[in-house]
């Protein structure tokens, strides 16, 4: 209930007071409250998908360094988040 109130514009303190919940027992929603792709990620998603389509066997770090070489200045954690959301992980084959 407190999550709903926070989503509607109340502060965390006000939402907890409204519900009667102690503020130290309030936990953020699963996923850190930032679910899915953001509109600001659209260009990065397009570039990453183009790289994956062209070089399907590469791994995450190779894609990240190639983006850097293409002068896309982006944090590796942001690239990893998008990489995971697009399910681009390679399947590890066991011999």
> Which pTM value belongs to this model?
0.61
- Is 21 in a helix, a strand, or coil? coil
Which of 90, 80, 89 lies closest to 41 in space, CA to CA?
A: 80
pLDDT of residue 61: 94
Does 49 lie in the same domain as 28? no
pLDDT of residue 8: 76
17 in any annotated domain:
yes
pLDDT of residue 33: 53
Assign 3-state DSSP to the chain and report helix, strand, coil percentages, each to 5.
60, 0, 40
pLDDT tens digit sequence for 6-61: 777 888 788 888 888 777 777 766 555 556 778 888 999 999 999 999 998 899 99
90 in any annotated domain:
no
- Is 90 in a helix, a strand, or coil? coil
Structure tokens at 70: 């293409």
Does 62 lie in the same domain as 25? no
Name the phi and psi angles at 25, rounded to 5: -100, 0
Q: Which structural domain range is residue 79 located in?
A: 39-85
93 in any annotated domain:
no
> How many domains are contained in the chain?
2
What residues contact residue 59 under an 8 Å CB cut-off, 6+ apart? 90
57 in any annotated domain:
yes
46 in any annotated domain:
yes
Q: How far apart are CA 72 and CA 90, in angstroms?
A: 23
8 in any annotated domain:
yes
Does 46 lie in the same domain as 62? yes
């Amino acid at each position: 209930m407190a999550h709903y109130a926070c989503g509607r514009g109340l502060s965390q303190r006000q939402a907890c007071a409204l519900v009667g919940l102690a503020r130290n027992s309030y936990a953020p929603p699963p996923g850190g409250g930032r679910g899915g792709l953001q509109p600001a990620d659209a260009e990065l998603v397009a570039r990453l998908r183009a790289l994956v389509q062209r070089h399907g066997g590469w791994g995450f770090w190779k894609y990240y360094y190639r983006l850097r070489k293409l002068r896309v200045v982006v944090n590796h954690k942001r690239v990893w988040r998008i990489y995971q959301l697009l399910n681009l992980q390679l399947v590890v084959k066991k011999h």
